[in-house]
Amino acid sequence: MSAIPAEILAGAERKPHRTSGWWGMIATIATEAALFAYLLFSYGYIAAQAPPPWPPVGAPELKLALPNTLVLLASSVTVWWAERRLSRRGDLRGCRRGFLATLAFGAVFIAVQLLEWHKKSFTPASHVYGSLYFTITGFHMAHVVAGWVMLAAVAWWLASGRAGPARPVPVAVSAVYWHFVDAVWLAVFTTFYLLPRLG
């Protein structure tokens, strides 16, 4: 066969959505999404067969959870903006700012969620609703923390030149994971906070 043009061989890392790292993250997200599907299935399976009232303590309040949901959504917007600054304009500073804003929003979400847990009148051992509530929101929290550490690492790499306009893969990979964490929250939030209000 004829030689493969040198520019094709050299351009491997420039388009992050073609790299193995990106594909690996998408596959990881797929299996994590399955995990949350099983968690929410368990909630639905137990809720459907539990004697009324469900939830036994009444639908959870929205006072903290709704604003916190908006905070998490805002963090998705900032990381999307950060990625765009880098890929469209090569703007390293803008990208770093976007990452720092996302980290700040993420930290607020974690803090408010801890406060919400603290204010609950029940524990995981109180009743099966408590087991489900803390396990599922706990799983989500673990993913938020993992995503936050990932974003912090990439922010550090952006500062030290390990990631940047010519090496955009870490930015794209961590951003898509963060979007996933947000999307999962919407499913958890809808299940726990909104659905009980419909009945």
Least distance CB 101 / other proteins (angstroms): 22
Give the interface with other proteins as residue ranges (CB under 8 A): 1-4, 6, 8-13, 18-20, 23-24, 27-28, 30-32, 34-35, 38-39, 41-42, 45-46, 49-51, 124-125, 127-128, 130-132, 135, 149, 153, 157, 160-163, 166-167, 170
Q: What is the C-alpha to C-alpha distance for residues 174 and 158, in angstroms, rounded to an integer? A: 12
For residue 47, the one-letter residue type is A
How distant, in Å, are the alpha carbons of 63, 134, 196 from that of 123? 20, 8, 19
Q: What is the DSSP letter of 163?
A: S
Q: What is the C-alpha to C-alpha distance for residues 102 and 171, in angstroms, rounded to an integer? A: 12
Least distance CB 160 / other proteins (angstroms): 7
Least distance CB 85 / other proteins (angstroms): 20
Residue nearer to other proteins on the CB measure, 10 or 198: 10
The helix (H) or strand (E) run that includes residue 150 is: helix 128-160
Residue nearer to other proteins on the CB measure, 68 or 83: 83
| Cβ atoms of 76 and 178 closer than 8 Å | yes
Residue nearer to other proteins on the CB measure, 73 or 131: 131
Least distance CB 156 / other proteins (angstroms): 9
Residue nearer to other proteins on the CB measure, 24 or 67: 24
Residue tagged 């990106």 (tokens): 22
